[in-house]
Structure 1
């Protein structure tokens, strides 16, 4: 049989043809991948304030799994370790890799792990192209190489579809259904040469899904053009939480009401309707006259914890209570993301899971 490393790299077969699929985030994980934040332009005037909540995030996830962190060099590693030690992180669970990055958003530039438990090579990576959300924030050459660096480090094959795709733009139930948004995936600043049907084919071929569901626009302030991980998330195979805005004068109200209506009409891969749990939005978070994309939906699901961004808002506890009901087998922890969200993303945007297999 031909070597799967060559087959994958040369594009001779797609992951789905070889029996691979992208698991749900709530499936067992081996580790979480991060790229240590260092780009001051992403948090102008505030970057020093993000390290304490970021380290707390690492601490909570590391209680249940390994955490891998991309850093540029020994100096950045020492800086990171100082913050992690102060937060009380179990450093036996943390592993540093000298893979330099342009920015911290590992959900979008990091590796998309696919698995086939029945294969000799049980794990592989899909190396999508990355262009910093439509060439908004160059340079991104280092970020674009991260999946290859990780695949080579782990000694696993990687597939190269050759199109732009970001991890925050897709959401999975692990049974064949993928949820995404037209605002992002059909945006001409990503893959202008492809129509919706062609993009769906890439999603099926490389993520191993069969049922693709589309919502519309993303929330106000989201510079990714509407990533799904700020709007609607799977909490189990047939249930989503989706954010809603009760204030009819808020500019998110209509966008989110339309998405809710779309979700109610959708069907899973087995023909069943979605179970839909509504999640409130926080009051608008404004910094330097800019509305930020604050959303409780940008949580990270780890092996034993769900880390939820909070915003010093009256709805924080309500959101935590709703998510606690959705994840009875995990600790649901709120961590203040008021400073982190100045970077226009939160814990889910900053992280990428590596599944256990």
Structure 2
């Protein structure tokens, strides 16, 4: 395998396609798919103006509802899926052009918490549809648990990647070696914990992202009741200690679920694609500020804020439910 085929490109590199999951398991959404399907449809319609969108439908009913709702906005692809979280169940594609390879890591339901039929088959099915060779890896790794800058640097968290519910027989050195070999990265930047009540065990795509080589973005505290105040401060401090250029945007602040519990809402869970950045929004004031600041950071791309409160009820947001295919 050449260095070119193992090189993990940054998300802002050109995309040939963007995969998006379509919800089908009502029990994972409080018994009601109407809200999440409407928000995901809005995302797909917006994204399809910039990139070919492929909608992963895990059942005949899901495929039919997606086709009826989207009215041609995306290509409906009937493949095995458990739920919509393709960032974690789909392949991580390295290289570009003829050198692209689908890296299919082992998926264990976020440490055994959510095991859904079809999820372990999604990576291979996406690779087959794209006509990409696939390499299977024994390492448990979710795409939302890492973020790369295309220049060898990789962001991750100890809470997730070193969690004994993922790879209990591997220490940090062994995990780094496996990822280095598969993805062609060289420098690991380890953060600590993720957001409160994040069932992914602290996925980094909810707290810190690269926006250019050596340039990371994270959130600062919003409001006196922000449940992640200490965590957000520690994240920014760790990124600066790592020698990165660091920009910040406001967090959504305290967002509660129906029972009054804080939920892991984040403006960081945006999707970057050709010419656009699609950002989940939850609260008017902080979200408006975040969108304006993101537009200044993403020169040459249109920053689009879209509601994502119903999607968050399922446990994630835009970045979690998407997987780009490099051009």
Misfit runs of 4+, over 4 Å: 15-19, 246-249
Partner of 1:145: 121
State the 1:207 CA deviation: 0.9
Deviations 1:140-184 (A, max 9, x none): 4x1111111222333321111211100000001011111100110
Partner of 2:254: 284
The whole-number CA distance in structure 2 between the counterparts of 1:18 and 1:337 is 36
Confirm whether residue 25 of structure 1 aligns to residue 1 of structure 2.
Answer: no
Show the 5 A alignment for 1:190-229: 190-229=166-205
The whole-number CA distance in structure 1 between the counterparts of 2:316 and 2:5 is 33
Contact 2:221 2:253 in 1 (8 A): no
Deviations 1:283-322 (A, max 9, x none): 3111122321100000000101111000133201000011
Confirm whether residue 167 of structure 1 aligns to residue 143 of structure 2.
Answer: yes
Contact 1:179 1:212 in 2 (8 A): yes
State the 1:97 CA deviation: 1.8
Partner of 1:11: none
SS at 2:66's partner residue? helix
User: Aligned match of 1:244 in 204, 208, 220?
Assistant: 220
Partner of 2:79: 99
Partner of 1:296: 267
The whole-number CA distance in structure 1 between the counterparts of 2:166 and 2:121 is 18
Contact 1:296 1:310 in 2 (8 A): yes
The whole-number CA distance in structure 1 between the counterparts of 2:278 and 2:304 is 5
Matched residue pairs, number? 326
Partner of 1:128: 105
The whole-number CA distance in structure 1 between the counterparts of 2:155 and 2:126 is 26
Contact 1:36 1:71 in 2 (8 A): yes
Partner of 2:285: 314
Contact 2:226 2:253 in 1 (8 A): no
State the 1:209 CA deviation: 0.6
The whole-number CA distance in structure 1 between the counterparts of 2:78 and 2:114 is 22
